[in-house]
C-alpha cells in the first residue's frame, strides 16, 4: 500500500476514534437548564411516570475502555494502512504459519506414497481415493468431476492420449504441463488448392480411419495432396499422430474440439492452442503422482489391486 493510501486510512481511523469519544462525551453530559430525570411530564394512569435517567457512569466508562482497547489493538496488530504494528503481526504471516502446520499434516499423509510408480499406486485403493480427491480439487474444473472432459478438454477415461498414455508420460503431463498448438493453415491451404482447400482437407481427413473410402470420393482425392503437403509433418502419412508433439491420431473417432464440419474447418483454418498448466509447484511430486495414478487407473485399472502402499 502506498504512503498516500496509508495516510488516508490513518485519517479515517483517527476520525472514527475521535468521533466516538466526542459522541460519548456529548450525549452523556447534562446541560444547564435540563429538566431533572423525573421531570419528563410523561405520566400515565396517575402514577406511571417516564424517567429520562442517564446511563450509569460505570457503563459509560466501559465504552471509553473499549475505545482504549481498540487503540491498543490497532497499535499492536496494525491497522493503519501499510504501517506495521508493534507485534509485527500480519495476515500473511498468520496464513504462512497455519499453512506450514497443515502442510506438515499433508506430508505425513502422503509420505507412504512418495516415489512409488504410477501403476503400483493405481493398484492401491487408498492411494486411488486420495488421487481422486486431489483430482476433484484441482483438475475437475477443466476435465469435469467424471474426468470425461468437454469441448477443448480431453476425456481422461478412454485409451486415447495425445501426449502418450504411459504412466511416466501422464506424470510428466501433470507435473510440467503441456502446450498443444495447431497452427493456422487456412491461408496456406487456400494458396495451394484454392478457396475450398480446407474442405478438401477435411474430406480426406475423414477417410483416414477407412482408407478404402477415398475411392470415388472426389473431395477427399483433392484433399490428399493438401494433407500430405501440410499436415503430414505432425500427424504422419497415415494420420496416426505423434505423441511427442501432442499431435492427435486422426484415425480414431475422438475429436477434442468436435467432429462437425464447422469445428474441423475452424481447427484447420484458424488453428487451436490448448494449454495444460504445470502442477509441480502447486501439488508437489507426491500429490501429482497420486493424481496421475488416479487418472491412469480410469482406463488402466490393474487387475491385481493391492490393499496398501
Q: Where are the domains of the chain?
A: 3-89, 106-300
What rounded mean pLDDT belongs to the chain? 91
What is the model's pLDDT at position 303? 52
The dihedrals phi and psi of 182, each to the nearest 5 degrees, come to -105, 110
Q: Cβ distance 146 to 158 under 8 Å?
A: no
Q: How confident is the model at residue 308 (pLDDT cuts 50, 70, 90)?
A: very low
| Of 2-11, 187-196, 210-219, 300-309, minimum mean pLDDT range | 300-309
Compute the chain's Rg from CA coordinates: 35
> Which residues, in sequence order, are CB contacts of 83 under 8 Å at separation 6+?
6, 10
Beta bridge partners of 44: 48
Cα(20)–Cα(54) distance, rounded to whole angstroms? 18
pLDDT at 301 over 70: no
pLDDT at 238 over 50: yes
pLDDT at 230 over 60: yes
Q: Cβ distance 216 to 207 under 8 Å?
A: no
Is the Cα dihedral 118, 121, 125, 126 positive or negative? negative
Q: Does domain 106-300 have CATH number 1.10.760.10?
A: yes
Cα(87)–Cα(78) distance, rounded to whole angstroms? 8
Which of 147, 110, 167, 154 shows the shortest CA–CA distance to 302?
A: 167
Q: What percentage of the chain has pLDDT greater than the value 90?
A: 77
pTM metric for this prediction: 0.69
Amino acid at each position: 500500500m502506498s504512503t498516500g493510501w496509508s495516510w488516508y486510512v490513518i485519517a479515517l481511523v483517527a476520525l472514527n476514534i475521535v468521533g466516538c469519544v466526542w459522541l460519548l462525551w456529548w450525549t452523556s453530559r447534562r446541560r444547564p437548564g435540563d429538566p431533572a430525570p423525573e421531570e419528563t411530564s410523561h405520566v400515565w394512569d396517575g402514577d406511571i411516570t417516564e424517567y429520562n435517567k442517564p446511563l450509569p457512569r460505570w457503563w459509560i466508562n466501559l465504552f471509553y475502555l473499549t475505545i482504549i482497547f481498540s487503540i491498543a489493538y490497532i497499535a499492536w496488530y496494525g491497522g493503519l494502512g501499510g504501517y506495521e504494528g508493534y507485534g509485527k503481526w500480519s495476515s500473511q504471516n498468520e496464513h504462512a504459519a497455519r499453512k506450514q502446520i497443515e502442510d506438515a499434516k499433508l506430508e505425513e499423509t502422503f509420505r507412504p506414497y512418495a516415489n512409488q510408480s504410477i501403476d503400483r499406486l493405481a493398484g492401491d485403493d487408498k492411494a486411488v481415493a486420495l488421487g481422486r480427491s486431489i483430482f476433484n480439487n484441482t483438475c475437475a474444473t477443466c476435465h469435469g468431476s467424471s474426468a470425461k472432459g468437454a469441448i477443448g478438454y480431453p476425456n481422461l477415461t478412454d485409451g486415447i492420449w495425445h501426449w502418450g498414455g504411459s504412466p511416466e508420460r501422464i506424470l510428466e503431463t501433470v507435473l510440467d504441463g503441456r502446450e498443444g498448438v495447431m497452427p493456422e493453415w487456412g491461408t496456406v491451404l487456400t494458396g495451394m488448392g484454392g478457396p475450398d482447400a480446407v474442405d478438401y482437407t477435411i474430406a480426406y481427413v475423414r477417410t483416414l480411419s477407412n482408407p478404402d473410402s477415398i475411392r470415388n470420393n472426389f473431395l477427399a482425392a483433392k484433399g490428399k495432396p493438401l494433407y500430405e503437403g501440410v499436415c503430414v509433418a505432425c500427424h504422419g502419412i497415415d494420420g496416426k499422430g505423434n505423441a511427442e508433439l501432442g499431435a492427435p491420431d486422426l484415425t480414431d473417432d475422438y475429436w477434442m474440439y468436435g467432429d462437425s464440419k464447422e469445428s474441423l474447418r475452424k481447427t484447420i483454418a484458424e488453428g487451436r492452442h490448448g494449454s495444460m498448466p504445470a502442477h509441480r509447484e502447486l501439488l508437489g511430486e507426491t500429490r501429482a503422482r497420486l493424481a496421475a495414478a488416479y487418472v491412469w487407473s480410469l482406463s488402466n485399472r490393474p487387475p491385481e489391486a493391492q490393499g496398501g502402499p
